[in-house]
Amino acid sequence: MLVFNTIKGAEIAMLKIWGRPNSICTQRVLWACCEANVDYELELASGTMGPNGHISQGGQPFGHVETEPYRAMNPNGTVPTMEDGETVLWDSVAIVVHIAQKFAPELLYGACPVTLARSVQWMGWTNEHMEPLLHTLVMELVRLTEEQRSADALEKAHRAAISKLELMDRHLAQQSYLVGNDFSMADIPAGATVYRWSLFDLEQPRLQNVGDWLLRLLDRDAFQEIVAPRAYHLA
């Protein structure tokens, strides 16, 4: 299917994305699509979440991820997966980089190889240092039943997340965004993750620079459409 891209004034193939709106990793990809003005088709897919919540609470998953055709695209059986013509990618950072390079290099990394590298650096930092902690928090606070929850796991993840956010706050004292003073794809993974953190009913120290950065992201139309709905984070 071909669609008209209003930014580039050219016809492009619609991307197909498998995932779910309340997946942080899927949100990264959809946010990048919206920033780049790329149309996409979203196929709901998950092995753990469905229309009625997490499987730990008795819900049925959206599925797809266990099927042979899906595993041929993504042997991990995870989401998201993206198909762009003959190109198939299944890592959210790789997909965001693909979208940035193909559709919006100026917007998403200033068409600069150094900014691209620094963006990937911060995206990797989010994956390694923040996302595992936020996964623990959302499971312990939202998705697991009371009987399955661990106060110790919650406390450890909470304290570790504060430490990482303090690092971000020091970094953002010198600039408006993670890579300089312009928005870039570096802000996409971290932005979705920190926004989810901000919604949790937990002690949250005042981090002025992180707070100001998050407010700047909240002003973006793509963020409001893809990331901001609270239901995507508290279910």
pLDDT digits 0-9 by tens, 43-86: 999 999 999 888 988 889 999 999 999 999 999 999 999 999 99
Q: Are residues 118 and 189 in the same domain?
A: yes
Sign of the CA dihedral with 159 first, then 160, 165, and 171 last: positive
> Which segments of the chain does DSSP mark as H helices, in order?
24-36, 68-73, 92-103, 105-109, 113-125, 131-138, 151-172, 187-199, 208-218, 221-226
- Structural contact between residues 30 and 23, judged by C-beta atoms closer than 8 angstroms: no
Same domain, residue pair 22 and 58: yes
Q: Answer yes or no: do 82 and 132 share one domain.
A: no
Question: Do 218 and 116 share a structural domain?
Answer: yes
* Cα separation, 8 vs 5, whole angstroms: 6
232 is a domain residue: no
Q: Other C-beta atoms within 10 Å of 219: how many?
A: 8
Write out the residue range of the structural domain in which residue 82 sits: 2-103
Structure confidence at residue 13 as a pLDDT band (50, 70, 90):
low
| Rounded distance between C-alpha atoms, residue 222 and residue 162, angstroms | 27
Contact residues for 70 (Cβ-Cβ < 8 A; gap 6+): 18, 45, 64, 77, 81
Any domain includes 21: yes
Q: Which among 53, 74, 103 is the end of a domain? A: 103
Share of residues in the chain with pLDDT > 70 (%)? 94
Kindly state the tokens that stand for 11: 């016809």
The 10s digit of each residue's pLDDT in 105-118 is 999 999 999 999 99
CATH code, domain with 214: 1.20.1050.10
- Residues 120, 81, single domain; the answer is no
Q: Which tokens hold the place of 168?
A: 């971000």
Does the bond joining 189 to the residue before it have cis omega, within 30 degrees of 0? no
Same domain, 133 and 218: yes
- Strand, coil or helix: what is 17? strand
pTM of the model: 0.92
Task: Tell whether 119 is covered by a domain.
Answer: yes
What is the number of domains present in the chain?
2
User: Looking at residue 13, which CATH number applies to its domain?
Assistant: 3.40.30.10
Q: Per residue in 193-222, pLDDT tens? A: 999 999 999 999 999 999 999 999 999 999
Instruction: Clarify whether residues 147 and 81 are in a common domain.
Output: no
